[in-house]
Amino acid sequence: MKIIRQPAEMTAWSKHRSREGQSIGFVPTMGFFHEGHLALMRMAEQQADRVVVSLFVNPSQFGPNEDLSAYPRDFERDSQMARDVGVDVLFAPESGDMYPPESKTTVTVADLTDNLCGADRPGHFTGVATVVSKLFNIVRPDLAVFGQKDFQQLAVIRRMTRDLNMGVDIIGHPIVREKDGLAMSSRNTYLDAPLRRSALSLSGAIQQVCTLAVEGERSVQRLNAAVEAFITSFPETGIDYISFINKDSLQQVTTVDRDTVVALAVKIGNRVRLIDNGFVFQD
């Protein structure tokens, strides 16, 4: 596996592969890999001739109350994990090369970023859209794989790519879960045993919604009340949001159907904020 740090070198590598007729699959990450990240890499490997993974903790998507320096990092561990799954290039640029002092341009996707995580994290999705557009321009992939756990992010990237005619095929990978149902996240490392049990309230709430819907419940008001009661029955849980949204517009709905996604953000203890989601009707 080749490690590239300079954007110009990364672009030159990609251009050379394209001239050889090889397709490039891309997985953007902020590192501290877990099995969820590796699943995205394996999917990219199945879909493309070559796989590039970026490792860049993007400062522009952190808010003023979010500690960029506290984000977990382990470059040597991440490098070995990427190498073991067959990644061709690990692109790990420096912040100064991604955001030179003279940078004046950002990318904003309207409407899709107004609610859910966007409501509590102003500017977050502008940071996400900007860095992903820059990475697409540098890596020049044919396709990119994103996890469906960040459902709003996936919708934003799909819209940006379509609106700006970027020509990158965006593939969503299903949520990868631990054996107990907890959605995989780098933040899970902060959970001790009692907090982990409380974290299972998210996946448990989604399953409860699915059960109630199959039994005939369609009212978002009643489903929301059931979810809130379920989550708050676990110790040290604080609900940021419970949202029933249309899968494409991300707008709130009042009755559920097969296009409805229930999306959750819950604080576990004082430090860990987890997100999860699922279709109300799971075929």
pLDDT level of residue 160 (50, 70, 90 thresholds): very high
The CATH class given to the 2-173 domain equals alpha beta
With CA atoms as reference, report the closest residue to 241 among 262, 222, 258: 262
Residues 61-99: tens digit of each pLDDT: 988 777 788 888 999 999 999 999 999 999 999 999 999
Same fold, 2-173 and 186-277: no
Q: Which residues are tagged catalytic?
A: 37
- pTM recorded for the entire structure: 0.94
Q: Which residues of 216-238 are buried (b: 16+ CB within 10 A; e: fewer)?
A: ebeebeebeebbeebbeebeebe
Cα–Cα distance measured from residue 54 to residue 90, given in angstroms and rounded to the nearest whole number: 6
Residues 119-130: tens digit of each pLDDT: 988 899 999 999
* Whole-number percent of the chain with pLDDT over 90: 92
Residue 218: predicted pLDDT: 98
Q: Are 251 and 102 in contact (CB under 8 A)?
A: no
Fold of 186-277: Pantoate--beta-alanine Ligase; Chain: A,domain 2 (3.30.1300)
Q: Where exactly are the structural domains of the chain? A: 2-173, 186-277
Q: Are 246 and 253 in contact (CB under 8 A)?
A: yes
Residues 218-251: tens digit of each pLDDT: 999 999 999 999 999 999 999 999 999 999 999 9
Mean pLDDT of 9-34: 97
Q: What is the mean pLDDT of the chain?
A: 96
